């Protein structure tokens, strides 16, 4: 149970056509984060995502504008707790110990955001390995998992960031926190996994991540 350290948090799950993966995540959350409110944002799905989320007891919001960032911002407008935990819909193995430790790390460091780092292999995180980390390093920003999708953050801080609507939301959070001098603190964990897609499925994500970082680099030179 994570009530004592995670009880001021709402869990937000952006989801587009995740009927195959959402049941396992919601089962994990029901067991490992019992009593913590869960919002699933149905991001214009064409499958049973919304039905499954509602059946598991989650609050279901609908976001017609496709994009992970748009879905997250829809949820942020409805969150009433001081903290929000962003969780991708295709995560498995999430556990109470990791959530409690993440909350403790965020609290002890005083940072506005803390992220679980899954220690994924290069093959398991191609956009991180081949796009995000090299460009971030060139910009002087060093981290382990800028696209992990498991972030505990101050709700009000997140609302004020001006996050993009699409796949670049995670990299934007990383960059904007760094610019504020409060880089996202990371907690390495094991036993938590993220679905591995076909390499071609990462094309749009890689493009949006690279485009955001190039725009950021261009802005710095003006």
Distances (CA, A) of 90 to 13, 79, 210: 9, 22, 23
Q: Which of 66, 64, 88, 86 is nearest to 76 (CA)?
A: 86
Question: What is the C-alpha separation between 155 and 56, in angstroms, rounded?
Answer: 24
Q: Which helix (H) or strand (E) holds 114?
A: strand 113-117
Q: Does CATH number 3.90.1300.10 belong to domain 3-220?
A: no
What percent of the chain stands above pLDDT 70? 96
Q: What does the pLDDT look like over 58-101, one tens digit per residue?
A: 999 999 999 999 999 999 999 999 999 999 999 999 999 999 99
Q: What mean pLDDT is reported for the chain?
A: 93
Instruction: Kindly compute the dihedral angle of the four CA atoms of residues 207, 213, 216, 221, in this order, to the nearest 10 degrees.
Output: -110
Q: What does the pLDDT look like over 147-197, one tens digit per residue?
A: 989 999 999 999 999 999 999 999 999 999 999 999 999 999 999 998 888
Q: What is the pLDDT of residue 1?
A: 55
Which tokens in the block code for residue 118? 């899954």
The ranges assigned to domains in the chain are 3-220
Q: Is the pLDDT of residue 2 over 60?
A: no
Average pLDDT over residues 114-140: 92
Strands in 113-117's sheet, in edge-to-edge order, are: 59-62, 38-42, 9-15, 83-87, 150-154, 113-117, 185-188
Q: Which of 148, 152, 142 is nearest to 102 (CA)?
A: 152
Residue with tokens 């030179």: 221
Q: What does the pLDDT look like over 21-65, one tens digit per residue?
A: 999 999 999 999 999 999 999 999 999 999 999 999 999 999 999
Reported as a pLDDT band with limits 50, 70 and 90, residue 217 is confident
């Amino acid at each position: 149970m994570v009530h004592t350290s995670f009880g001021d948090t709402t869990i937000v799950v952006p989801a587009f056509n995740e009927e195959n993966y959402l049941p396992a995540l919601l089962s994990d959350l029901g067991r490992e984060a019992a009593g913590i409110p869960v919002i699933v944002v149905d991001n214009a799905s064409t499958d049973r995502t919304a039905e499954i989320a509602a059946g598991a007891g989650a609050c279901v919001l609908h976001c017609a504008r496709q994009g992970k960032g748009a879905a997250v911002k829809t949820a942020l407008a409805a969150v009433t707790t001081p903290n929000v935990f962003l969780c991708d819909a295709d995560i498995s193995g999430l556990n109470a110990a990791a959530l409690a430790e993440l909350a403790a790390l965020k609290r002890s460091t005083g940072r506005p955001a803390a992220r679980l780092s899954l220690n994924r292999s290069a093959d398991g995180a191609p956009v991180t390995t081949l796009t995000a980390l090299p460009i971030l390093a060139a910009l002087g920003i060093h981290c382990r998992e800028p696209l992990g999708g498991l972030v505990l953050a101050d709700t009000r801080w997140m609302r004020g960031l001006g996050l993009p609507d699409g796949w670049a939301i995670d990299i934007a959070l990383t960059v904007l926190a760094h610019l504020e001098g409060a880089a996202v603190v990371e907690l390495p964990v094991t036993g938590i996994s993220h679905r591995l897609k076909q390499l071609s499925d990462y094309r749009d994500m890689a493009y949006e991540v690279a485009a955001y970082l190039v725009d950021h680099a261009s802005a710095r030179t003006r």
